[in-house]
């Protein structure tokens, strides 16, 4: 017996586009269905009960009907509209960046529960307390992990030797860290400091709330940004449009940069 045409999806609106005067095509990233697009008929009509539920960056439950073409959203209820996030330009821009990364790194119809939980965790944290470099870098790194491209940070990806607590290097094309000797023959190897390795390993073993305990100075934040950007670009092979907007906001001092000394929770110092 075939499955019912009706189904319910719990997800976040990560993209939408307008059709005609009344409808939208909504792209959802959902817990059980993965990424999919559906038509929200009448959602642009004044007073539509569906309208607020299919706005960007809304987490909701959606009743849908399968069709040969695009599915249709027939009903929806909002679980969290992330009102604080949407009321602040920087927070909203960071959330849109996270959604663009999700959209660019996934295909339709392929559920990824850990990646869905990561997105939900990030949006909740940004809505609750705001966004900084730690939130962005943590999200990018864990996204790489959940799509199968996590950087190798324990052994040299070339010779297999354990990394020593010295300045090593990181190669996006080879997928991880290189010892000083192997780095000499790798064109895209970039210097990887001891503190950067510690932070990356720490982030791969904790949640976002714990990750924010790491206080990064300007130099370390810039190093991590460079390394993770190179990995993301190498994997996705496309331009992330919202990244340049975030850079512009930062350059205009809409986000106060941290000048605190870098610290790692003590129990991770030996890793």
DSSP per-residue codes, 76-142:
EEEEE--HHHHTSHHHHHHHHHHHHHHHHH--BT---HHHHHHHHHHHHHHHHH---HHHHHHHHHH
Band the pLDDT of 164: cuts 50, 70, 90: very high
pLDDT band at 215 (very low <50, low <70, confident <90, very high): confident
CB proximity list for 181: less than 8 A, separation 6 or greater: 159
Checking if the pLDDT of 260 tops 60, the result is no
For residue range 93-151, list pLDDT tens digits in order.
Answer: 999 999 999 999 999 999 999 999 999 999 999 999 999 999 999 999 999 999 999 99
Cα 156 to Cα 160: distance, rounded to the nearest angstrom: 5
What does the pLDDT average to over 159-176?
97
Domain with CATH 2.40.50.140 in the chain: 6-81
Residue 253 has pLDDT above 70, yes or no: no
* Positions of CATH 1.20.1440.120 in the chain: 86-268
pTM: 0.90
Which class is 6-81 in CATH? mainly beta
What's residue 20's pLDDT?
87
Return the pLDDT at 3: 54
**Confidence check: pLDDT of 236 > 60:** yes
Write the class of the CATH domain 86-268: mainly alpha
pLDDT band with cut points at 50, 70 and 90 for residue 206: very high
User: If pLDDT is split at 50, 70 and 90, which confidence band does 62 have?
Assistant: very high
> What DSSP assignment string belongs to 190-211?
EEE-HHHHHHHHHHTTS-HHHH
Q: What is the mean pLDDT of residues 49-60?
A: 96
């Amino acid at each position: 017996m075939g499955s019912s045409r009706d189904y319910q999806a719990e997800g976040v609106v990560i993209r939408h586009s307008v059709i005609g005067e009344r409808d939208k095509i909504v792209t959802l990233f959902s817990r059980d269905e993965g990424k999919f697009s559906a038509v929200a008929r009448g959602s642009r009509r004044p007073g539509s009960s569906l309208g607020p539920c299919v706005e960007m960056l809304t987490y909701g439950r959606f009743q849908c009907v399968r069709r040969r073409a695009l599915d249709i959203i027939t009903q929806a209820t909002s679980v969290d509209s992330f009102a604080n996030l949407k009321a602040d330009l920087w927070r909203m821009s960071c959330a849109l960046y996270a959604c663009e990364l999700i959209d660019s790194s996934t295909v339709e119809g392929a559920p990824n529960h850990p990646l869905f939980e990561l997105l939900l965790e990030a949006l909740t944290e940004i809505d609750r307390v705001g966004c900084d470099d730690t939130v962005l870098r943590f999200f990018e790194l864990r996204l790489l992990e959940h799509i199968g491209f996590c950087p190798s940070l324990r052994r040299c990806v070339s010779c297999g030797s354990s990394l020593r607590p010295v300045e090593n290097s990181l190669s996006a094309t080879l997928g991880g860290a290189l010892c000083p000797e192997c780095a000499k023959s790798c064109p895209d190897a970039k210097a990887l400091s001891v503190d950067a390795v510690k932070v990356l390993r720490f982030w791969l073993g904790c949640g976002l709330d714990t990750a924010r305990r790491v206080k990064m100075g300007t130099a370390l934040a810039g190093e991590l940004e460079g390394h993770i950007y190179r990995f993301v670009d190498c994997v996705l092979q496309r331009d992330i449009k919202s990244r340049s907007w975030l850079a512009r906001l930062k350059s205009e001092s809409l986000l106060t940069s941290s000048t605190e000394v870098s610290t790692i929770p003590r129990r991770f110092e030996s890793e």
